[in-house]
């Protein structure tokens, strides 16, 4: 007697659902049990894409090319044999498009700092498929663990500027699942803010006071010298 088909399994033969634009992919659809022959139909968003017939339970192989974002949508396949109303649907499968990351931008809210000051550095790639992993460097030495960002947001580290060595050149590196696509940021340097001497404001204040005394004395002389001269006459 004909045996009803089991639900088929839809898989990507390349072993991953991550793809790049214009990539050729192959989808395999196969039930584990059931009576052949089997008719396989591939659907994308419930729209029929292709139909294949197999005389046995060997998998049906559907070849596709990812040409646009619409080709990433949900795929399913249906397996049918000679049993009426015995068609079974597979699991759904969707592709994820891998995009190369853009050059990350390294920035800080301030560039002039004082020794002992706490500062932040931010690294962000505006484009590229997520997640993106960032690492910060000073010179050629990494100064942070890998920071994997699942959202389109900057990786941030905090630093203390304690000595002259902390004023070196900083960079960050960004990478994602796209092959051979590691990008380094612009260089960033902190500069030492000029610190005014504590005696300078005091000298300015003393100078102003002295000037006011001279002006006051000059204004007071006529009131003391002239009356004394008249009294002596």
- Average pLDDT value over all residues in the chain: 88
Cα distances (Å, whole numbers) of residue 148 to 126, 151, 168, 185, 226: 15, 9, 25, 16, 87
Nearest to 115 by CA among 61, 195, 204: 195
Name the segment(s) of the chain with CATH classification 2.60.40.10: 8-97, 105-192
Confidence (pLDDT) at 85: 81
Q: Which residues pair with 76 in a beta bridge?
A: 43
- pTM for this model (two decimals): 0.63
The two three-digit tokens of residue 200, written as one number: 């300078």
Nearest to 61 by CA among 22, 11, 117: 11
The two three-digit tokens of residue 147, written as one number: 């920071």
Assess whether pLDDT exceeds 70 at residue 174: yes
Assess whether pLDDT exceeds 70 at residue 101: yes
Confidence (pLDDT) at 197: 47
Nearest to 138 by CA among 102, 111, 165: 165
Confidence (pLDDT) at 113: 92
User: DSSP letters of 65-112?
Assistant: EE-SGGGGS-EEEEEE-SSTT--EE---B--EE--PPPPPEEE-S-SE
Q: In 25-43, which positions are buried (b, 16+ CB within 10 angstroms) versus exposed (e)?
A: bebbbbbeebebebbbbbb
**CA atoms within a 13 Å half-sphere pointing along the CA-CB vector of 12:** 20
Confidence (pLDDT) at 215: 76
Task: Enumerate residues 6+ apart whose C-beta is below 8 A from 83.
Answer: 2, 3, 4, 5, 35
What digits encode the pLDDT tens for the residues 191-206?
A: 988 755 444 555 666 7
CATH of 8-97, picked from 2.60.40.10, 1.10.10.10, 2.60.40.420, 3.20.20.70, is: 2.60.40.10
What backbone phi and psi angles, to 5 degrees, belong to 224?
Answer: -100, -40
What digits encode the pLDDT tens for the residues 110-149?
A: 999 998 899 999 999 999 999 999 999 999 999 999 999 9
Q: In 90-116, which positions are buried (b, 16+ CB within 10 angstroms) versus exposed (e)?
A: beebebebbebbeebbbbbeeeebeee
105-192: CATH superfamily: Immunoglobulins (2.60.40.10)
């Amino acid at each position: 007697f004909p045996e009803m088909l089991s639900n088929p399994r839809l898989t990507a033969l390349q072993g991953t659902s991550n793809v790049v634009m214009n990539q050729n992919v192959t989808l395999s659809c196969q039930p584990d049990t059931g009576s052949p022959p089997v008719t396989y139909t591939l659907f994308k968003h419930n729209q029929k894409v292709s139909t294949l017939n197999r005389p046995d339970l060997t998998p049906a192989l559907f070849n596709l090319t990812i040409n646009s974002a619409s080709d990433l949508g949900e795929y399913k396949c249906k397996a049918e044999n000679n049993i009426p109303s015995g068609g079974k649907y597979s699991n759904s499968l969707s592709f994820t498009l891998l995009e190369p990351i853009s050059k990350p931008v390294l920035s800080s809210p301030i560039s002039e700092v004082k020794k002992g000051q706490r500062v932040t550095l931010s690294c962000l790639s505006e484009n590229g498929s997520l997640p993106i992993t960032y690492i910060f460097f000073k010179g050629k030495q990494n100064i942070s663990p890998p920071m994997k960002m699942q959202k389109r947001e900057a990786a941030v580290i905090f630093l203390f500027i304690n000595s002259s060595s902390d004023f070196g050149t900083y960079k960050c590196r960004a990478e994602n699942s796209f092959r051979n696509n590691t990008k380094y940021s612009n260089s960033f340097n902190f500069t030492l803010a000029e610190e005014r001497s504590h005696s300078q404001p005091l000298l300015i204040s003393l100078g102003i006071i002295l000037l006011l005394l001279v002006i006051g004395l000059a204004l007071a002389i006529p009131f003391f010298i002239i009356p004394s001269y008249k009294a002596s006459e």
